[in-house]
């Protein structure tokens, strides 16, 4: 019966999407077995966990979300379940959440680009911050782990002896939050810590295609700020577990670095062409060597430059 259900599902939907929630509910076991076999990850223990994770995802959703699950691209859906299983996170316990992103296509209509929905979804999984904390505290080398908001008025320094952060001043909860701090102390007493200002956290968050500015308007008691600090601390902790390694790897894949292109850099090829053209027309081209460029600089340029008013100074109070 299971084989028939899967074959029926495969013939109708494997290359597109599941059109009915009932298809997903009846075919998820066969889908799991086939997916794990293709990934050579079908050992009995992992397969049992995978099917349980998939089952929790399907049967813990409301009708609206279940319909979106059914319309999620099969490869994307199965990869989301695989990631959650690797991390040991449960959808039913809200340790991980399934977020469907609708796929749009652009078409030309009357000479204009028009974006329209395809009816399909891509899957994204978000690991709960408390689940990640629990995973950190369950590490064999864990002695102490904590996070804290840093409020305005606290002086933040970094020790040259230990490399750890040092804070001076009263951390008054009535003041605005200016940053977040996380620390892990292992069983040998070694301390691993990280501090990020709210501005640094927002800049890091902007690398994600899923960045939403509204999530970062309120800096106080914010899981959005805290989770980025915790995730960056996890990369510093030695002997990290396989589950946490999986979370880090997945989270990192959601962030895309970019390279800043400076349009002010002169186009040397065009400059050379201009110089040749001017010489050909009988006009003496001005020299373009570094020495000549320096010679044309006004004398005032050699004067020490004034620091901008907003320059960062050492020992700045937040």
pLDDT, tens digit, for every residue of 231-259?
A: 899 888 887 777 777 776 666 555 443 33
31-40, 74-83, 270-279: which range is least confident on average? 270-279
What pLDDT score was predicted for residue 281? 56
User: Average pLDDT of 119-146?
Assistant: 90
Is the pLDDT at 306 greater than 50? The verdict is: no
Tokens of 87: 């991390």
What pLDDT score was predicted for residue 27? 87
Best-predicted range by mean pLDDT (103-112, 226-235, 269-278, 301-310): 226-235
Note the Cα 232 to chain centre separation in Å: 11
**pLDDT band at residue 223 using 50, 70 and 90 as cut-offs:** very high
**Percent share of the chain, pLDDT over 70:** 71
User: Average pLDDT of 153-173?
Assistant: 96
**pLDDT band at residue 201 using 50, 70 and 90 as cut-offs:** very high
Task: For residue 270, give Cα distances in angstroms to 71, 95, 140, 273, 281.
Answer: 52, 57, 62, 5, 17
Task: For residue 181, give Cα distances in angstroms to 39, 139, 214, 223.
Answer: 39, 20, 22, 13
Tokens of 180: 């977040």
**pLDDT band at residue 292 using 50, 70 and 90 as cut-offs:** very low
Instruction: Report CA torsion sign: 223, 226, 228, 231.
Output: negative
Q: How many CB atoms lie within 10 A of CB 202?
A: 18
What pLDDT score was predicted for residue 61? 86
**Percent share of the chain, pLDDT over 90:** 38
**pLDDT band at residue 172 using 50, 70 and 90 as cut-offs:** very high
24-33, 91-100, 263-272: which range is least confident on average? 263-272
Q: Which of 195, 189, 213 is nearest to 203 (CA)?
A: 213
pLDDT tens across 88-114, in order? Answer: 999 999 999 888 888 888 887 877 888
E-strand spans in 54-211?
Answer: 96-109, 112-127, 142-151, 155-158, 165-168, 177-186, 191-197
Is the pLDDT at 198 greater than 70? The verdict is: yes
Angle at 177 between CA 172 and CA 180, to 5 degrees: 105
Residues 6+ apart with CB under 8 A from 5: 26, 27, 30
**pLDDT band at residue 279 using 50, 70 and 90 as cut-offs:** low
**pLDDT band at residue 161 using 50, 70 and 90 as cut-offs:** very high
What pLDDT score was predicted for residue 20? 63
What pLDDT score was predicted for residue 175? 97
The domain limits of the chain are 2-127, 130-253, 268-295
């Amino acid at each position: 019966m299971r084989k028939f259900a899967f074959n029926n599902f495969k013939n109708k939907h494997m290359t597109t999407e599941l059109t009915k929630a009932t298809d997903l509910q009846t075919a998820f076991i066969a889908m799991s077995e086939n997916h794990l076999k293709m990934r050579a990850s079908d050992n009995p223990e992992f397969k049992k966990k995978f099917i349980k994770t998939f089952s929790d995802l399907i049967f813990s959703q409301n009708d609206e979300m279940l319909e979106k699950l059914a319309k999620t691209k099969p490869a994307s859906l199965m990869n989301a379940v695989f990631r959650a299983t690797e991390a040991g996170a449960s959808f039913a316990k809200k340790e991980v959440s399934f977020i469907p992103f609708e796929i749009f296509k652009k078409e030309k209509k009357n000479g204009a680009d028009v974006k329209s929905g395809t009816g399909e979804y891509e899957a994204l999984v978000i690991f709960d911050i408390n689940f990640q904390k629990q995973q950190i505290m369950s590490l064999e080398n864990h002695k102490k782990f904590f996070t804290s908001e840093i409020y305005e008025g606290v002086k933040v320094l970094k020790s040259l002896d230990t490399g750890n952060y040092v804070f001076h001043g009263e951390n008054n909860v009535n003041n605005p939050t200016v940053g977040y701090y996380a620390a892990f102390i292992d069983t040998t007493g070694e301390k691993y810590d990280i501090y990020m200002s709210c501005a640094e956290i927002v800049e890091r968050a902007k690398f994600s295609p899923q960045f939403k500015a509204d999530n970062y308007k309120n800096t106080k008691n914010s899981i959005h700020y805290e989770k980025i600090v915790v995730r960056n601390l996890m990369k510093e902790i030695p002997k990290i577990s396989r589950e946490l390694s999986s979370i880090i790897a997945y989270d990192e894949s959601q962030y895309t670095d970019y390279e800043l292109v400076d349009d002010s850099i002169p186009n040397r090829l065009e400059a050379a062409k201009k110089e040749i053209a001017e010489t050909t027309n009988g006009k003496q081209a001005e020299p373009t060597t570094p020495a000549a460029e320096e010679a044309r600089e006004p004398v005032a340029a050699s004067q020490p430059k004034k620091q901008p008013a907003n320059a960062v100074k050492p020992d700045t109070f937040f």
